[in-house]
Chains A and B, each alone.
Chain A
């Protein structure tokens, strides 16, 4: 399922225009963006948690050439499904 279908389904279920739903979806995405940008985590009950994790810089070696590379620090976003969602999927 892609974005378009998701918006369609949502607009049907909510009895709202697709544009409105798109707006809300954008707002949600920006909220997660800004929150995770500050290293906060966003918890959604019954679904899971979006967490920002800081990865420290590290040195990795290219096994093919043997060259050492300094990988810069990085903030990545990770998703932890809640127990409820995990059980549903089982």
Chain B
């Protein structure tokens, strides 16, 4: 990835593929480029089959400005060499993205929607995205907090409660996502301000502000404490009606509920993480058995779904030929043809499909087989281990037109679902 391949490295790779000696391959490469440049100097275009064409173009004289001195100068006419890759080469290089086609956009799609689409599209953005979804979860929870907030907008205690909630949420999401959380936090403060408006009295308003700024530790002087005490007393006198006390308890209730929700989510994700680690090790053992191709395995994130489940699924779904004892607790049986592969930055479902079935369009079946693990086929975390279903299971045949058509239709369906 973004490495620069030097000449010696190129010589070595040519030597290993042709089984020629390094000397001959070095000589060949040197001669090759000498011949090409000689021919270019003579003014001849050079076309190499399966590679591309080196074209010469005349550039006419033009005026330009010297960037340093600001003087005007003339660039004399010269010939420029450009390289046009052959279709074979261009397609081979573009293979990871070969499955995408140009889509005509309907007028109803707004720019904002496109932006959100763009953020989920590129595969490279996986890690950030996962973090983003995590933040999304938290955001949903804070949303709930807000709901609770609205119902008791005359109360103080729940507000401080929510502040605490957010604080804990901060801790959970970690420093990296502080920025995103920062996006949520102002919304809550806004809510508080709205609540203050609903309260109506000016005194109340003041109280809210003090409450609001207190948890941030900005104003911790005596005046604040005193005035706070006073205001609280006045408020208590005001809100002694039974209706208010009901509101108070309801707010308290909502606070506890959200607290429980957050802690349960945290516990669940921790549970998944440990579970997955175990499953992951097993899966690696599998993939080593079935294929030698697990480069670039990244540690899977907590929120991708446990591989264990998938193992069980595939085991029950497929006819069993040979029983292999895998786990002492659960005797998972495996079909001889079940294969595993690892998604990496340069290895996509389409790459695998091309390798196993001879056509990239059958990636939909790999996706189908691993639906639980992969949510969006455009955004799979590198290191995700996927099951490669046997070709007979879905009737995959690259020479059969109807089979290909079916895969195409399915791909459209899946893409529609993830727009």
Check if A and B associate.
Answer: yes
Interface of chain A, helix or strand or loop or mixed? mixed
Convert B315-342 into 0s and 1s, putting 1 for each residue whose CB lies closer than 8 angstroms to a CB of A. 0000000000000000000000000000
Closest chain B residue to A40 by CB distance? Answer: B3
In the complex, what residues of A have CB within 8 A of residue B226's CB? none
The number of residues on chain A lying at the interface, defined by a beta carbon within 8 Å of a beta carbon of chain B, is 61
B78 in contact with A75 (CB, 8 Å): no
Number of interface residues of B (CB under 8 A): 65
B237-266 interface code vs A (CB 8 A; 1 in, 0 out): 000000000000000000000000000000
Nearest Cβ in chain A — how far from B123, in angstroms?
9
The interface bits of chain A over 6-42 (1 if a CB of B lies within 8 angstroms of the residue's CB, else 0) are 1001100110100011011111111111011111111
In the complex, the answer to whether A45 meets B51 with C-beta atoms within 8 Å is: no
Give A14 to B50 CA distance when docked, in angstroms.
22
Contact between chains at A21 and B28 (CB < 8 Å): yes
B89 adjacent to chain A (CB < 8 Å): yes
Residue of A whose beta carbon sits closest to that of B5: A42
| B1 at the A interface (CB under 8 A) | yes
Q: In the docked arrangement, what's the CA distance between A16 and B20, Å?
A: 12
- A47→B81 CA distance, assembly (Å): 11
**B79 an interface residue at 8 Å Cβ cutoff?**
yes
A63-78, CB < 8 A from B: 67-78
Q: How far is the CA of A14 from the CA of B26 in the complex (A)?
A: 11
Alpha-carbon gap, A45 to B54, bound state (A): 17
Tell me the dominant secondary structure on chain B's binding face.
mixed
Question: Which parts of A44-84 form the interface with B (CB within 8 Å)?
Answer: 44-50, 52, 56-57, 59, 67-79, 81
A2, B93: Cβ atoms closer than 8 Å: no
Q: Tell me the bound Cα distance from A40 to B36 in angstroms.
A: 23
Q: Mark B100-131, 1 if CB is under 8 A from A, else 0.
A: 11111101000000100010011000000000
In the bound complex, residues from chain B placing their C-beta under 8 Å from that of A67 are 104-105
Q: How far is the CA of A90 from the CA of B76 in the complex (A)?
A: 10
Contact indicator A47/B36 (Cβ below 8 Å): yes
- CB–CB B48/A43 < 8 A: no
With A42-B5, A75-B94 already in contact, the answer to whether A1 and B47 are too (CB < 8 A) is: yes
- Contacts A67-B104, A69-B104 given: A3-B48 contact, CB under 8 Å? yes
A68 to B78 alpha-carbon distance, docked (Å): 39
Which of B38-46, B228-236, B367-375 sits within the interface? B38-46
Please list the 6 inter-chain residue pairs (A to B) with the smallest Cβ-Cβ separation, ordered nearest first.
Answer: A79-B83, A72-B100, A3-B49, A27-B17, A68-B105, A47-B33
Q: Jot down 18 A-B pairs with beta carbons below 8 A, ordered by A.
A: A23-B18, A24-B24, A26-B50, A28-B10, A31-B13, A38-B1, A38-B3, A41-B2, A43-B6, A45-B7, A52-B93, A68-B104, A68-B105, A74-B97, A76-B85, A79-B54, A88-B41, A89-B40
